[in-house]
Amino acid sequence: MLRPMEEVTPQEGQRRVQQGALLVDVREQNEYDEVHAQDAQLLPLSELEARYTELPQDRDLVLICRSGARSARAAEYLMNNGYGRVANLTGGTLAWVENGLPTEGGNQ
């Protein structure tokens, strides 16, 4: 039986990234270009099935989307394919921005 998916707050997600976790944004390119969490790597959910092996299995992964739904699906997919160190960022980019955490893209 798989363990339940871990959910993390934006602050916890940022802390994990500062400690070496990889932040993976699963939105589409145009959404990512508008605004994304600083240091987030883009891997759209639409490409995840074909490209998930590009992600390291030996590193913590924090997945983020707009609000948390797509990243939850991506986290579940990765966990079903052997990734054990996966967390979903609750509230997504909306919560990241709302909490004043560093972003890139758009008109900054």
Of the residues 65, 72, 86, 87, only one is catalytic, namely 65
Instruction: Count Cβ atoms within 10 A of the Cβ of residue 83 and give its class: 0-12 exposed, 13-18 middle, 19 or more buried.
Output: middle
Nearest residue to 12 via CA among 82, 103, 95: 95
Round to whole Å and give the CA distance between 103 and 7.
Answer: 21
3-state SS track over 41-83: EECCHHHHHHHHHHCCCCCCEEEECCCCHHHHHHHHHHHHCCC
User: Is 48 one of the catalytic residues?
Assistant: no
Instruction: Give the residue numbers annotated as catalytic, written as ranges.
Output: 65
